[in-house]
């Protein structure tokens, strides 16, 4: 028995030594897992890949990107919250991190306690886009059409900011439509382009090129005023829905307890990425507003959103049991 224990100890020693050496090595000492809470093809996924690609040479490690839009992103959020706080698992987060606790009866994470904000990278508008042959070019025409026939409007998922923006618009205009949830903006856009939907409410960046090319038509944007990257698209507010103003956000977070020096280095690197001329130009062309700044900027935004959404979710009747 003693010999067996000794042999087992000797066999396990190299693996243990390797694990200890890796744990003590300077960060990052292996590829970084970046969790993306949407399906591939949407704006959250596109931004995650853009930032990861430019951040790689700044920190000296590659990123392994994992897209998972299941359960409204909750599976990705949970995986990030439960990951070791060693800087080797990060989250490309967005509005749903703050929205989901108000939408779902129970989520296996807390959006503030379980995460360490890194950076608020960008903000943007939601947009209602329709297929080009839909006989509606303005919100008034769309409203009149919705009152005479059943429309199908997709979103990036139940409880997503696209879904809630649509519910808010329905409540404010008195119209109805059939909501079709998807696992991300990419699949929803694909079905809209194929003619399987009448429209989609989602982040403007996900469809701005299709709008410019005439493949889709923008009924309106969710921000208080027009968006500089697409000035021809009017806001809902200027089309008669007074006070309508919804701004979405994206940012990076780490598991709570991640060492402050790692957070600081990631924040510095991502601010450098945002300042790159090619990145700034691309973001502007895609209708994103670059934000950046210290982690506290995202922390304040997250706290405000967690407090804001429950009342809006209840008013929209968007709770998922």
Q: What is the DSSP letter of 28?
A: P
Same domain, 298 and 208: no
Q: What is the DSSP letter of 144?
A: H
Mean pLDDT of the chain: 91
Answer whether residue 272 is part of any domain. yes
Q: Considering 213, 239, 265, which residue would you say is the last residue of a domain?
A: 239
Neighbouring residues of 205: CB distance < 8 A, sequence distance ≥ 6 = 43, 46, 47, 124, 286, 287, 288
Answer whether residue 244 is part of any domain. no
Cα–Cα distance for residue pair 95/114, rounded to 1 Å: 16
For residue 258, the SS3 value is: coil
> Could you tell me the CATH number of the domain that includes residue 73?
3.40.190.150
Tell me which residue range forms the domain holding 71: 31-123+249-316
> What's the predicted TM-score (pTM) here?
0.82
Answer whether residue 99 is part of any domain. yes
Q: Is the CB of residue 44 less than 8 Å from the CB of residue 77? A: no
Q: What is the pLDDT of residue 51?
A: 98
Query: Pick from 188, 253, 214: which is nearest to 42 by CA?
Result: 188
Same domain, 52 and 106: yes
Q: Considering 185, 216, 239, which residue would you say is the last residue of a domain?
A: 239
Same domain, 94 and 45: yes
Where the chain has pLDDT below 50, the residues are 1, 15-23
Q: Where are the alpha helices (DSSP H) in 70-179?
A: 74-82, 96-103, 139-146, 161-173
Q: What is the pLDDT of residue 15?
A: 47
Q: Is the CB of residue 31 less than 8 Å from the CB of residue 61? A: yes
Answer whether residue 273 is part of any domain. yes
The gap from C-alpha 12 to its chain's centroid, in whole angstroms, comes to: 42
**Domain count across the chain:** 2
Q: Is the CB of residue 114 less than 8 Å from the CB of residue 261? A: no
| Beta pairing class for 247-255 and 115-130 | antiparallel
Q: Considering 239, 261, 294, which residue would you say is the last residue of a domain?
A: 239
Cα–Cα distance for residue pair 97/102, rounded to 1 Å: 10
Same domain, 187 and 282: no
Same domain, 88 and 184: no
From residue 120, alpha-carbon distances to 94, 190, 231, 313 in Å are: 9, 28, 24, 23
Same domain, 129 and 233: yes
> Could you tell me the CATH number of the domain that includes residue 169?
3.40.190.10
């Amino acid at each position: 028995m003693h010999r067996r224990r000794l042999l087992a100890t000797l066999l396990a020693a190299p693996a243990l030594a390797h694990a200890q050496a890796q744990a003590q090595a300077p960060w990052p000492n292996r590829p970084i897992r970046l969790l993306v809470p949407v399906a591939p093809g949407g704006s959250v996924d596109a931004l995650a890949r853009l930032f990861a690609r430019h951040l790689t040479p700044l920190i000296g490690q590659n990123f392994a990107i994992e897209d998972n839009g299941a359960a409204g992103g909750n599976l990705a959020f949970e995986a990030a919250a439960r990951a070791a706080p060693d800087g080797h698992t990060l989250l490309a987060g967005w509005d749903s991190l703050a929205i989901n606790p108000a939408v779902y009866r129970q989520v296996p994470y807390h959006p503030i306690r379980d995460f360490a904000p890194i950076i608020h990278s960008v903000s943007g508008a939601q947009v209602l886009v329709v297929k080009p042959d839909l006989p509606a070019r303005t919100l008034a025409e769309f409203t009149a059409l919705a009152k005479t026939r059943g429309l199908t409007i997709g979103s990036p998922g139940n409880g997503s900011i696209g879904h809630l923006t649509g519910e808010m618009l329905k409540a404010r205009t008195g119209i109805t439509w059939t909501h079709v949830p998807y696992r991300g903006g990419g699949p929803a856009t694909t079905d809209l382009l194929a003619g399987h939907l009448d429209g989609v409410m989602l982040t403007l960046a996900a469809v701005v090129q299709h709008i410019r090319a005439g493949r889709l038509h923008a009924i309106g944007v969710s921000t208080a005023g027009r968006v500089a990257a697409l000035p021809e698209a009017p806001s809902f507010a200027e089309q008669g829905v007074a006070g309508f103003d919804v701004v979405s956000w994206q940012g990076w977070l780490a598991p709570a307890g991640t060492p402050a020096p790692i957070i600081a280095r990631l924040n510095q690197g991502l601010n450098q990425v945002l300042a790159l001329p090619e990145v700034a130009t691309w973001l502007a062309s895609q209708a994103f507003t670059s934000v950046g700044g210290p982690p506290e900027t995202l922390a304040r935004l997250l706290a405000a959103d967690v407090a804001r959404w429950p009342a809006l979710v209840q008013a929209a009747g968007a709770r998922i049991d």
